[in-house]
């Protein structure tokens, strides 16, 4: 890019070369023609001193030769200049046609040096094409994953309800409660997908305010009171008195996802929730008693629909969206989230800037 000139400069240089070339050709051809004619006696110096408006045959020869040579030079320089622009533009047009026909891997060639403007155009086009290809691939993966996640609860609901209609099952409270759990699972899935979709499209709006995070923690723990007892988990929390600048509802959503994750996958014991403020950062730590996540799985941990142990997690009812939603909310707050395997403990650490 740094060696490429702009189109304006290239045209200026090209036309300057044409002008200079024709001027030099005029002088050179005039000198050669008249010198040759004088040496061979075709014309004398005295005859050249007549009225300057009188054209001799030699003048016409000189003029015609200059016009012919000037046209050839202009044509050569013009063709070379046009080639520098036509080749990359044709490459760009070819890539556009291929993408229009469905080949999203097509890219414009930027190997030739032409101009900064066209280079920028091709670079931006290729970047756009890459994002389009990635977007379509992600959409295909998401569609397949969503269909997979929806298939099981819908099949269960359809089968049980059809059984009730046919008289195979009785509409007893336990069966209705089971069906309600499936509906709630679908509701959570839809809300998680909505949150991720809003984040991906930069439409996840936050209601930023000063929040007493202790109240958020107590509210969420109360929601999980029964499930925590069933999982033999005791919550031990140490929340600082500092007000947190965040969206309270969204941060409660983060807590819900992380505590639910601990209930599903951690060993019985103590679940620690701790927050602190150091310099300009508010840090939240949620630590359970393992068994932890192996290092080879940690890179994919926050990807949508990712499960460390597919069969085990599926049996526990997870959709693989919880941690992806948590990351989306934290990133929307301009914060960071990471996982640490503090054997035998497992910890999620969230940091938010207190000045946002």
Give 201-255 pLDDT, tens digit per residue.
Answer: 788 888 889 889 999 999 989 888 888 898 898 989 888 888 888 899 899 989 9
Instruction: List phi, psi (to 5°) of 101.
Output: -85, 0
Closest CA to 252 of 325, 202, 353, 305: 325
pLDDT for 336 equals: 92
- CB-based contact 245:354 (threshold 8 Å): yes
Cβ contacts of 320 within 8 Å, gap of 6 or more? 145, 149, 304, 305, 306, 307, 313
What is the reported pLDDT for 274? 92
Reported confidence tier of residue 296, pLDDT bands at 50, 70, 90:
confident
Task: Quickly tell me which residue has 């995070």 as its tokens.
Answer: 213
Residues 75-133 pLDDT 10s = 776 677 667 777 787 888 888 888 888 888 888 887 765 667 778 888 888 888 888 88
- Give the pLDDT band (50/70/90) at residue 2: very low
Q: Does residue 278 surpass a pLDDT of 60?
A: yes
Q: Which residues contact 54 (CB under 8 A, 6 or more apart)?
A: none
- Residues contacting residue 273 through CB under 8 Å, at least 6 positions apart: 217, 235, 236, 237, 238, 239, 255, 284, 285, 286
d(CA 189, CA 162): 23
pLDDT digits (tens, 9 = 90+) for 19-75: 667 777 777 777 677 677 767 766 665 655 555 545 566 666 767 777 777 677 767
Two structure tokens written together for 232? 């033999």
Residue 198 in this model has a pLDDT that exceeds 50: yes
Q: Round to whole Å and give the CA distance between 101 and 125.
A: 16
Write out the two tokens for 289.
């008693």
- Inform me whether the pLDDT recorded for 349 exceeds 90: yes
What is the pLDDT confidence band of residue 272, given thresholds at 50, 70 and 90?
Answer: very high
Residue pLDDT, tens place only, 153-189: 788 888 888 888 888 888 888 888 888 878 877 887 7
**Helix H or strand E segment including 236:** strand 233-238
Whether residue 313 has pLDDT greater than 50: no
Helices (H), the chain: 7-39, 57-100, 116-166, 173-200, 213-223, 225-230, 248-265, 295-298, 310-315, 322-332
Q: What per-residue confidence (pLDDT) applies to 1?
A: 46
The answer for residues whose C-beta is within 8 angstroms of residue 125's C-beta and 6 or more apart is: 92, 95, 96, 108
Q: Are 185 and 153 in contact (CB under 8 A)?
A: yes
Give the other-Cβ count within 10 Å of 118's Cβ: 22
């Amino acid at each position: 890019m740094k060696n490429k000139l702009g189109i304006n400069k290239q045209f200026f240089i090209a036309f300057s070369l044409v002008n200079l070339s024709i001027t030099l050709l005029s002088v050179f051809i005039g000198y050669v023609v008249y010198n040759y004619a004088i040496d061979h006696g075709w014309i004398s110096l005295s005859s050249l001193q007549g009225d300057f408006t009188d054209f001799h045959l030699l003048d016409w020869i000189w003029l015609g030769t200059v016009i012919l040579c000037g046209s050839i030079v202009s044509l050569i320089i013009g063709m070379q200049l046009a080639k520098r622009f036509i080749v990359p533009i044709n490459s760009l047009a070819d890539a556009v046609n291929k993408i229009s026909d469905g080949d999203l891997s097509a890219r414009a060639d930027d190997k030739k040096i032409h101009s900064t403007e066209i280079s920028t155009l091709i670079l931006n086009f290729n970047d756009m094409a890459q994002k389009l290809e990635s977007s379509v691939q992600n959409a295909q993966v998401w569609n397949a994953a969503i269909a997979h996640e929806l298939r099981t609860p819908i099949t269960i609901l359809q089968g049980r309800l059809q059984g009730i209609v046919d008289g195979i099952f009785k509409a007893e409270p336990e069966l209705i409660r089971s069906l309600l759990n499936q509906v709630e699972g679908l509701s959570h899935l839809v809300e998680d997908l909505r949150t991720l979709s809003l984040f991906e499209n930069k439409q996840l709006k936050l209601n930023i305010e000063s929040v007493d995070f202790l109240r958020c923690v107590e509210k969420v723990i109360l929601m999980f009171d029964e499930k925590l007892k069933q999982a033999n988990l005791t919550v031990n929390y140490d929340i600082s008195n500092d007000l947190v600048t965040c969206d309270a509802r969204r941060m409660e959503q983060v807590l819900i996802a992380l505590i639910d994750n601990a209930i599903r996958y951690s060993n019985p014991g103590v679940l620690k929730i701790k927050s602190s403020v150091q310099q300009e950062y508010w840090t939240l730590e949620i630590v359970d008693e393992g068994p932890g996540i192996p290092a080879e799985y940690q890179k994919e941990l926050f990807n949508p629909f990712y499960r460390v142990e597919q069969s085990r997690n599926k049996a526990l009812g997870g959709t693989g969206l919880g941690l992806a939603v948590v990351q989306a909310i934290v990133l929307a707050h301009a914060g960071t989230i990471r996982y640490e395997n503090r054997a035998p403990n497992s910890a999620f650490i969230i940091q938010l800037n207190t000045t946002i």
